[in-house]
Amino acid sequence: MRLKLWLGSLLVTFASLSNAIDAFVGINIDTNQSNLPSPELVVGILRTHHVTHVRLFDTNARLLSALSDTGIEVMISVTNGEVLGIGESPSNAASWVNTHVAAFKPATNITAIAVGSEFLPSNPNAAIALVPAMTNLYKALVASNLNDQIKVSTPLSMDMISKPFPPSTATFNISLNSTIYEILDFLKETNSFYMLNAFPYDSYVQSNGIFPIQYAFFQPLPVVKQIVDPNTLFHYESMLDAMVDATYYSISAYNFSVIPIVVTETGWPGSGGANESDATVENAETFNNNLIKRVLSGSGPPSQPAVLLNSYIYEMFDDDKKPSYGVFFRNGSSVYDLDFGGSTGNFSGGFCVARKGADPASLQGGLNWACGPGQANCTAIQSGQPCYLPDTVQNHASYAYNDYYQRKRRVGGTCVFGGTAVLTNVNPSYGSCTFIGSSNSSAGGVSSPTLGPAAPTGSASPQHRVLETGVKYNRARDVEIRSGLRKHVGKLVNLTANEQLRSWLMLYQEPRLVNGSVLDHKDRF
């Protein structure tokens, strides 16, 4: 068994998951929550935090459109309520693909379809509907010539495995044998992957102290407490590794060679009920940051070291449910610090520029802010200066956004600007106009950030400078906005200067900067 799994992992390295060569950690997005940021701001948050993969719980058209031309890989979902109809009718499947996939390709980088969410075993129609739905969707993709670009699978929970430890003896629930075999056969025949929802938090709580919390947090254990499979002698340094390996062994029991696993949901709650003392923001921050480090290490679990442990964090936005797993508040600010970057798989753009097609009024608002309270040095876009031409708000905003971002990103500055900015690795410099962060920039991309206002050469201070775009920074309006933000987030007087700056910047950039109060949301899902 052990040799078979190792050989399988070598084969899968050269075959399956051709569109997921690099390790990545993505995030789940539920657009059915109320009071979410605009789709454009959601995309801005994703880009700022270097998120390269997202899983949507549905096919929200506005968000799919906002994700166009970003390069972010998107997994869309067939809701549980849609599975039966698609399984019963190939024409329904074709219509679904035309409406939710073909209409957005290739601009939106849709790479996978999740059919249902833990539809098996809880749904009574699972046996007759799930695999037929997957098959009909795949055939519709073939008809649209998209089957090589998009994989079809279905997310399954760890509840499918009755005894996951030790991993080497794990098997699927025997009552589901027929349906499980059909799913695995489909995944193998279509060169797809197994979607696993695995939450170490649940297993840790249910273990009643048998497993130490460090094991759930990817933290090293003393030799006497290390978790070892007695049959394979594999040492498991994390609970998630053991859960994934339990699934690999359960798959191998059906005599299938290795089908790669992607963890479509995992995470740790930042808040919970009265009896959930381990559901804290600190623990959630520890788990998710250590998860990212573990995944980006580039190795798989002990039985499959060559197969990456790619995962999606559950979930993007905080909600009113208990326990709550959100990484971001619904105003766009972070619940805690989380960095998805650090690998070739996760985007690390070098320049912050204005988004093509962004609303001109919103760009103007972002430009005014960057050159005013944002303290960007906007001298180069004044009349007669190297970056003044072309004299467009798009060009001027790109320069100002980037100048602000390069100077402030290490103290909490982001590339959001109400969803009008994006990160890019393409150097936007042209002619004699040099953007900060390029190799020819005097400021350079690795210079220390400055907290004070940049001193413009031969001009007045930024607070009194009138841009050629024609709008003057309004100090009274700035005071009004600051006052509104303080009411929104509470008193900031107990925070350090850097914390105040970060809190203010994150909230200031949260809405679209157009027509009215900075806290006035008009572009909801």
Show which residues are catalytic: 118, 265
**247: nearest Cα among 179, 315, 185, 173:** 173
Q: What is the 3-state secondary structure (H, E, C) of 303-320?
A: CCCCCCCCEEECCCECCC
Cis peptide before 511 (omega within 30 of 0): no
482/142 Cα distance (integer angstroms): 54
The answer to whether 86 touches 137, Cβ cutoff 8 Å, is yes
17/438 Cα distance (integer angstroms): 34
- β-partners of residue 218 are none
Which helix (DSSP H) or strand (DSSP E) does residue 196 occupy? strand 194-197
Task: List C-alpha distances in Å: 29 to 73, 329, 400, 482.
Answer: 13, 13, 30, 30
**Burial, 402: exposed, middle or buried (Cβ in 10 Å; 0-12, 13-18, 19+)?**
buried
* Chain centre distance of CA 125: 32
19/260 Cα distance (integer angstroms): 12
- β-partners of residue 44 are none
